[in-house]
Amino acid sequence: MHELSVCMELIDQVEAIARSHDAERVDTIVLRIGSLSGVEPGLLESAFEMARLGTVAEHARLRTERIEPRIRCRACGLEAEAGPSDLRCPACFGTDTALITGDEMILARVELLQAAD
Amino acid sequence: MCDTCGCNITDGNRHLLRADGSHRKLTAVSVLNKLLQHNDAQAEANRALFDRHGVLVINLMSSPGSGKTSLLEATIKALDGALRIAVIEGDLETENDAARIRALGVEAHQITTGTACHLDAHLVAKVLPKLDLENIDVLFIENVGNLVCPASFDLGHHLNLTLLSVTEGDDKPAKYPVMFRAADAMLISKTDLLAVLDEFSPERAEACLRKLASNAQVLRVSSKTGEGMREWLDWLNRRLEHYRNLRRENRSLSPAVQSEGRRLHGLARPDVRFKPETA
């Protein structure tokens, strides 16, 4: 259950962004979570309920976009979707593939509310 | 969604813009920050410190009870002083593992994490001042026994070694792909028990690992009988030599999965765009 540690870093980053934009509060946070990142979006959302208390993100909504693994085969050049526990090339079954996407853990977007002038 | 046309204003947040005449602006900030960038920055600082002293650092990961401490004990005995070893032990509670290492005359520092299921770069950084890095060749960091969380946290180490004991299922690499994909070598431990555990097939375990597009070396070791110790020590010595060659060129080493991640997601650095939108 390391989602709480991840959330603490998330809150730190969001607070810094909110501060630098003079935001009153945070409305929405959008994350991109790869299914090979080691983080479960569901657990992250539960941890976020706790981590946001008393912060500028206290009333924020958390949206997670799950990113499935995609690979590029170094042997035949094919790019394709892959399963988390089978990253072989689906065409030539080669194991020499590079993961293109699917292991990321990224803060992609923050929507802030500011008092209008 | 973009920052320019207002399409980031959704049915869910529209009311906030016009709620009873209170005038609030909604600002969308697009970023591409890695969620663990704070940890990663500390990890890079740790690695730079190790590199200044030329200490090769290996992160040992596995389920609880796979024989990480026993492997270290057997390694220290087999090396018989040929390499200067130090150990950082991570557990939720107790000094037991550090005490086992110290009993062999090797420096060991225990980190007790309380309820945390993994070590992170900051926890490791706290014990580094206690280590005499100038007089260490290889530092082993024995992570908390857990096949999930430790793989997500860079400690500043150079190599990941993942243990799989024959008392576990041989399909563990398929069940825990994040952990096993991170392995620079997979060490099948307790092989002395293979004779009575015919349901564990080292070949199947390796096949599961290869399906993760991993070319990590697979080692088979019994800390009890010493079987496979020579191959394991050969691997260790070869990696140490490789690391020292890199250091001579002022280069360093990261676990393969991290180098690949950096190549792929090198874009994951702060990229803040800011465009105010009036309500």
| Among A71, A66, A104, residue whose Cα is nearest residue B32 | A104
Residue ranges per domain, chain B?
54-250
- The answer on whether A76 is annotated among ligand-binding residues is yes
Instruction: With a cut of 80, say whether residue B267 has pLDDT above it.
Output: no
Categorize the per-residue pLDDT at B2 as very low, low, confident or very high, splitting at 50, 70 and 90. Answer: very low
Categorize the per-residue pLDDT at B5 as very low, low, confident or very high, splitting at 50, 70 and 90. Answer: very low
Q: CA angle, corner B33, sides to B278 and A111, nearest 5?
A: 20
Mark the ranges of chain A whose per-residue pLDDT is less than 70. 1, 117
Categorize the per-residue pLDDT at B117 as very low, low, confident or very high, splitting at 50, 70 and 90. Answer: confident
Q: Closest approach of chain A CAs to the CA of B265, in angstroms?
A: 8
Q: Which domains does chain A have, with CATH numbers?
A: 1-68+103-114 (3.30.2320.50)
The pLDDT assigned to B12 comes to 58
The pLDDT assigned to B73 comes to 98
B217-221 vs B185-189, strand pairing mode: parallel
The pLDDT assigned to B13 comes to 56
Instruction: With a cut of 90, say whether residue B33 has pLDDT above it.
Output: no
How far, in Å, CA of A51 to CA of A100, rounded? 31
pTM reported for the whole predicted model: 0.88
Which tops the pLDDT comparison, B24 or B21? B24
Which of B30, B173, B279 is nearest residue A109 as measured by Cβ atoms? B30
The pLDDT assigned to B3 comes to 40
> Is B135 within 8 Å of B107 (Cβ atoms)?
no
* Chain segment B196-220, per-residue pLDDT in tens: 999 999 999 999 999 999 999 999 9
Q: Does A105 touch chain B (CB under 8 A)?
A: yes
DSSP-assigned beta bridge partners for residue B27? A112
The pLDDT assigned to A1 comes to 61
Residue B73 φ then ψ, to 5°: -60, -45
Name every residue whose Cβ is closer than 8 Å to that of residue B118 and which is 6 or more positions away in sequence. Answer: A2, A5, B90, B143, B144, B146, B149, B150, B152, B153
Which of A2, A9, A24 is nearest residue B118 as measured by Cβ atoms? A2
Q: Does A106 touch chain B (CB under 8 A)?
A: yes
Report the C-alpha dihedral over residues B131, B98, A5, A68, rounded to 10 degrees. 100
Instruction: With a cut of 60, say whether residue B107 has pLDDT above it.
Output: yes
Q: Does B210 touch chain A (CB under 8 A)?
A: yes
* Interchain CB distance below 8 Å, A27 and B215: no
How far, in Å, CA of B10 to CA of A108, rounded? 17
How far, in Å, CA of B5 to CA of A112, rounded? 16
- On chain A, the residues whose CB falls within 8 A of the CB of B8 are 111
Name the residue of chain B whose CA is nearest to A87's CA.
Answer: B212
CA B137 to chain CA centroid, Å, is: 19
CATH architecture, domain defined by B54-250 = 3-Layer(aba) Sandwich (3.40)
Categorize the per-residue pLDDT at B15 as very low, low, confident or very high, splitting at 50, 70 and 90. Answer: low
The pLDDT assigned to B119 comes to 94
The pLDDT assigned to A93 comes to 92
Which tops the pLDDT comparison, B121 or B2? B121
Q: Does B121 touch chain A (CB under 8 A)?
A: no
Exposed, middle or buried: residue B18 (CB in 10 Å: 0-12, 13-18, 19+)? Answer: exposed
Q: What is the mean pLDDT of chain B?
A: 88
> Is B62 within 8 Å of B68 (Cβ atoms)?
yes
> Is B215 within 8 Å of B225 (Cβ atoms)?
no
How far, in Å, CA of B31 to CA of B273, rounded? 7
Residue B118 is given by DSSP the state: S
* Interchain CB distance below 8 Å, A100 and B264: yes
How far, in Å, CA of B233 to CA of A36, rounded? 31
* Chain segment B54-101, per-residue pLDDT in tens: 999 999 999 999 999 999 999 999 999 999 999 999 999 999 999 999
Q: Which of residues 50-89 of B touch A (CB under 8 A)?
A: none
Q: Does A45 touch chain B (CB under 8 A)?
A: no
> At which residue do the structure tokens 């989602």 appear?
A3
